[in-house]
Structure 1
Amino acid sequence: MSLTADKKIFKYNNDKKYISIIKIIILILSSFFSAWVFQYICFGRPTFIVSAFFFCLVLSLYDKSRLGLNIFTLLLALVYPAAKVFGSGVVQTAALDVVLTTNFEETVGFHEVLPSYLLIQGGAIFVVYLLLIIFNKRLSVKLSGIKRLYSYLVTAVACICVCIYGYKAFEPRVSEMIEAYSFIVDEQEPKETDFKILSQISKYDNYVVIIGESMRSDFMSTYGFPLKTTPFIDKMNKHYISNFISPAPNTTISVPRFLSLTVDGKLQDNNNAVTMAKLAGFDTHWISSQGYSGISCSSAGRVARYADHKTFVPVQNDFVLLPIIEKTLKDNHKKVIFVHIVGSHENPCSKLFGYPNNYKYNVGKVMNCYLATYNKTDEFVHKVVEMLKATSKSYSLVYFADHGLNFVESSGGYKIFRDPEIKQSYEVPLFVVASDINDNHEYEVTRSAFNMIDFYASWLGVKTNLTRDDYDIFTAESDENPLVADYENTLNPYNEKKDGIKASDVFKKMVDAK
């Protein structure tokens, strides 16, 4: 054989060797991306064992067999921005609620208000992984030295390890999700309450609970924001709490805890304000503009199912609820009406439905729309109070928001980034309006929403076997270092959270931009 031929053979073998090395590197990178994205979305954190599993899986599969895994990873890349918002992965009841009660329009709206860098990160992951797929396809030389049987054996062992690890890591979350979903599809009557009414002296004929959405107290002019975001509420005779702390940073976890008994951190959603009112002889109504699937909403629906009458409107426009509320108030029965509104939910621009937006400040479209939704909620509350007055019956109305929102600076303005570690995610308004309240008084106390079940008993004029007697939400001692739940239902002290962007920071930017 000639020297030239030997050189060609040597060069061919070297090229083949280099191509194989490059392919191994690409497989390592692609398996890393699959593992990293999968873990971040499901667990919220990376683990070596899952990375090893994906690498073994990628090596053991034929090129064509990897198609499913590649598609799976590309789809995960699209979910990445949402996973960052949830923080601890999307395998949790909070995510289940979003999936079951949203549609395409809501999904688009959700992504519109996310910070740009999250969308860029998700897009970058998608593009990089797509390029890895293309390079892997073009380098079609078979890997040498990897026995298929051996790789299958390694993959099987890795699968077993991942299953064991996954069971330990996911079991609490999955069990909770299964329980929530079972509740949704179960057509049987909800669990019986443990409440017993010991005595009752109800003060009013009509009671209304308005559950607001995503409204922070510091953006309300009632609480000192310089712009008139809540002019009607500002002037109303009312009693309100200066520092009211929501139990959780999202609707799924907060609404049941606002309305139900919580013992040692565990929710007892069968022992709720609706069942208490029913036992006390009130006609109970649940009227909502939240949730396309109505009663199948896994958060509010768990409590709403206990009401005597339930109405879920198909559009997320709170003003559509007004004629329903007015008709309900004409009923002569003593009643408690629970009104669950969309309020300032993201995307706030899509919640206006033609309502005027008078905010044109240099803080971005999302923030201007967010402030406009305060005006809309303010007018909604005002109209409901006027309806109550028009009945000529005694009444009381309580308003609170289910949680706040965290904002971050993005693209010259502000966008929404939900974060359970930020104090502003929990700082919400609470006020009470009544036919016999003749002053406008702020009570400077810190109050935890976990005590709301005691408030309902006192408010409705009942004593029960499960609530404190004569609890006064306004004059009781402040709740020291209230606890709040994160997305995994873990309780942590509110005081250990950190400050995010405040309303005063936003207003300063408005003024400086002029």
Structure 2
Amino acid sequence: MRNHICGGPRAAENLPNKQGKKVSFQKEKSWLAKLVYGLVALLCLYAASRLMLMGSGFYARPEWRDIVLLSLLILMFNSSRKLFYWLLLPFVCVYAVYTPVGLTFGAPSYQYIASVFATDLSESREFLSQLPLVNYAAALAIILCLLLFRQCTQRGGIFLHKNKVFLAAITVFVLFPQAPFKFVRESYQAGLQVKNELQRLNNMTIASRWGQSALNEDSRYEDYVLVIGESARKDYHHAYGYETENTPFMSTAPVTLVDGLHAGGTNTIASLKLMLTKPDTQTWEGDYSLNLIDLVKSAGIKTYWISNQGYMGQFDTPISAIANKSDEKIFLKSGDSFNGNISDFELLPKFAQVLEQPVRHKRFIVLHLYGSHPISCDRLTDYAKIFNDYEIDKKYFNVNCYISSIKKTDEMLQRVYELLLKNQAKKHRSFSMIYFSDHGLAHQITEDSIAIHNSSGKSKRHYDVPLFKISSDSSKREVDRVFKSGLNFTDAIGKWVGIRNPRLNPQADLFNHQPDPDDYGLRQRIEQMQVADDPAVVIPHAK
């Protein structure tokens, strides 16, 4: 009794420790066994799926996504004994039976199936004798791997089909290429494309591939000025038929007006990287080694870039990367385009300073405007609107700002022209000036408002942009209603300046009164857009 009493508590104290260690050991052993079963099952699943795809003859080297999709099918059918033995196993056996043939001759086709029906026993033996033994081993391995996978999942208690996280993951994986994830997929791809392009621009020096250029005898002007507009859609200009008179200079000056230029894209970067380089017309990608500035410099002409667009500094945009090729560059904004609302009129003193520089050689000057960039009302802090907002319906508020910003650009162009005339009179330097816009805009119309913004894919007129040329010797006004492709723009600017280079298309010309013979699919791309017409909105007469 004493021994029992004395020993009892100790025994009672030791018993839980021993049982706890035993339970812990059993749990550890169970966990290790489950891990081993899981790894073996995974290897078998991978081997069976890969061999099945290879044996089908369609996939000599199966992609990882195809292997995963087939593996998921096997996993789901493994959730039920009946599904496994009555559906999955016969399905896999069909693959296995064809595997020796598929590994040797490829995927089943009409010829193979027809030959089966036309083959006798002797011919069958000859056919089967052509198949390597290793192909038969692959077929057997498919069945064995599948059965071993089944055993491992059952003995190891691996039932992934009951795991909600696993089911959610495979749902995302299977549906990712489909509509529910299109937004995520397209956003990622667009972001990746921008990232790669910016890295390429900032991490390497892009050498010019133009080589040496020469000037033709018809390069008769001393100063060439290229004015790049922003977001100015052609049909909102009175010079192109808009009802409100918002282009007094463009409508009356002795310009050659082109009605038919299609921009390269529907935003500044997408359009100008094609228009200011000689692009790859197969991939529709800009070629920065064949950019406009390097072309002009290759002909011995000094280049200037004066911009009211943003300059990112450490991280160039494709446009600022081209601008940086210029001999002299002036950016009114040190950051992005939203870094300060600076009027385009602020470019005029900088332009005048460039004109005042004492030079004897030819010059090529780019003026990059902020124009009618959305929100266009912000462009009018120093400029009056055409209509009083209180005298028109409030739904036309944005339209009033937009057409007024175009009028401001028209006045800007007139002032540039007047500075060039003044410089010609003072220094006897002839000149030629071209204006075009990088892209247009599209509408979003509701019952209460009309928004005009950069909504890609919403309007065919998004690509329609103004273009005109005026020179120191211009005497009459001309209007050319001919199609011109933005993908030929750099070639055509080379023609305008009078540059001769083997890489230039000598047929490209913006002002030859003839449509472009080849637009590399631009017009077809625009015509295939499945969108309703999106004409310019005219503001009714004021109250």
| TM-score above 0.5, yes or no | yes
Of structures 1 and 2, the one with the larger relative CO (CA 8 A, separation 6+) is 1
Is 1:399 the counterpart of 2:435? The answer is: yes
Assess, with a 3 A threshold, how the Cα gap between structure 1 residues 216 and 293 changes in structure 2: closer, same or farther: same
Kindly state the Cα deviation for residue 471 of structure 1 after the two structures are TM-superposed.
3.7
Give distance in 1, aligned partners of 2:243 and 2:173: 60
Give the structure-1-normalised TM-score: 0.64
Give distance in 1, aligned partners of 2:166 and 2:243: 67
**Given the alignment, which residue of 345, 353, 362 partners 2:381?**
353
What SS does structure 2 have at the residue aligned with 1:454? helix
Is the contact between residue 261 and residue 484 of structure 2 (CA under 8 Å) also seen in structure 1?
yes
Give distance in 2, aligned partners of 1:354 and 1:253: 30
Q: 2:195 aligns to what?
A: 178
Give the AA of the match of 2:164.
Answer: S
Q: Over residues 172-192 of structure 1, what are the superposed CA-to-partner deviations in whole Å (9 max), with x where a residue is unaligned? A: 645522322314543x53333
**Given the alignment, which residue of 467, 471, 476 partners 1:434?**
471
Query: Structure 1 stretch 348-357 or stretch 308-317: which is displaced more?
Result: 308-317
Give distance in 1, aligned partners of 2:175 and 2:362: 57
Q: 2:354 aligns to what?
A: 328
Assess, with a 3 A threshold, how the Cα gap between structure 1 residues 295 and 304 changes in structure 2: closer, same or farther: farther
Is the contact between residue 257 and residue 480 of structure 2 (CA under 8 Å) also seen in structure 1?
yes
Give distance in 2, aligned partners of 1:475 and 1:409: 38
Give distance in 2, aligned partners of 1:148 and 1:448: 56
Q: 2:534 aligns to what?
A: 501
Whose Rg is larger? Answer: 2
Q: Which runs of 5+ in 2 are unaligned?
A: 1-67, 69-158, 334-339
Give distance in 1, aligned partners of 2:370 and 2:329: 16
Give the AA of the match of 1:416.
Answer: I
Q: Over residues 291-340 of structure 1, what are the superposed CA-to-partner deviations in whole Å (9 max), with x where a residue is unaligned? A: 15257452312321211112111243211111111101112242111111
Give the structure-2-normalised TM-score: 0.60
Kindly state the Cα deviation for residue 193 of structure 1 after the two structures are TM-superposed.
2.8
What SS does structure 1 have at the residue aligned with 2:296? helix
**Given the alignment, which residue of 312, 323, 326 partners 1:307?**
326
What SS does structure 1 have at the residue aligned with 2:261? strand
Is the contact between residue 460 and residue 534 of structure 2 (CA under 8 Å) also seen in structure 1?
no
Q: Over residues 392-438 of structure 1, what are the superposed CA-to-partner deviations in whole Å (9 max), with x where a residue is unaligned? A: 11001100000111113235331124132411101110000111221
What SS does structure 2 have at the residue aligned with 1:232? helix
Q: 2:300 aligns to what?
A: 281
User: Mapping of 1:50-61 within 5 angstroms?
Assistant: none
Is the contact between residue 408 and residue 501 of structure 1 (CA under 8 Å) also seen in structure 2?
no
Is the contact between residue 210 and residue 295 of structure 2 (CA under 8 Å) also seen in structure 1?
no
Give distance in 2, aligned partners of 1:260 and 1:479: 17
> Which has more strand, going by share of residues?
1
What SS does structure 2 have at the residue aligned with 1:191? coil
Is the contact between residue 483 and residue 494 of structure 1 (CA under 8 Å) also seen in structure 2?
no
Kindly state the Cα deviation for residue 266 of structure 1 after the two structures are TM-superposed.
3.1
Q: Over residues 50-83 of structure 1, what are the superposed CA-to-partner deviations in whole Å (9 max), with x where a residue is unaligned? A: xxxxxxxxxxxxxxxxxxxxxxxxxxxxxxxxxx
Kindly state the Cα deviation for residue 441 of structure 1 after the two structures are TM-superposed.
0.3
- What's the RMSD between the two structures over aligned residues? 3.2
Give the AA of the match of 2:433.
Answer: L
Assess, with a 3 A threshold, how the Cα gap between structure 1 residues 208 and 336 changes in structure 2: closer, same or farther: same
Is the contact between residue 440 and residue 465 of structure 2 (CA under 8 Å) also seen in structure 1?
yes
Give distance in 1, aligned partners of 2:464 and 2:214: 34
Assess, with a 3 A threshold, how the Cα gap between structure 1 residues 150 and 289 changes in structure 2: closer, same or farther: same
**Given the alignment, which residue of 337, 344, 368 partners 2:372?**
344
Give the AA of the match of 1:372.
Answer: S
User: Mapping of 1:23-422 within 5 angstroms?
Assistant: 150-154=163-167, 173=190, 175-183=192-200, 185-186=202-203, 188-201=204-217, 202-263=219-280, 264=282, 265-291=284-310, 293=312, 296-314=315-333, 315=340, 316-331=342-357, 332=359, 333-360=361-388, 361-362=392-393, 363-392=395-424, 393-417=429-453, 418-422=455-459
Give distance in 2, aligned partners of 1:185 and 1:172: 20
Kindly state the Cα deviation for residue 494 of structure 1 after the two structures are TM-superposed.
2.1
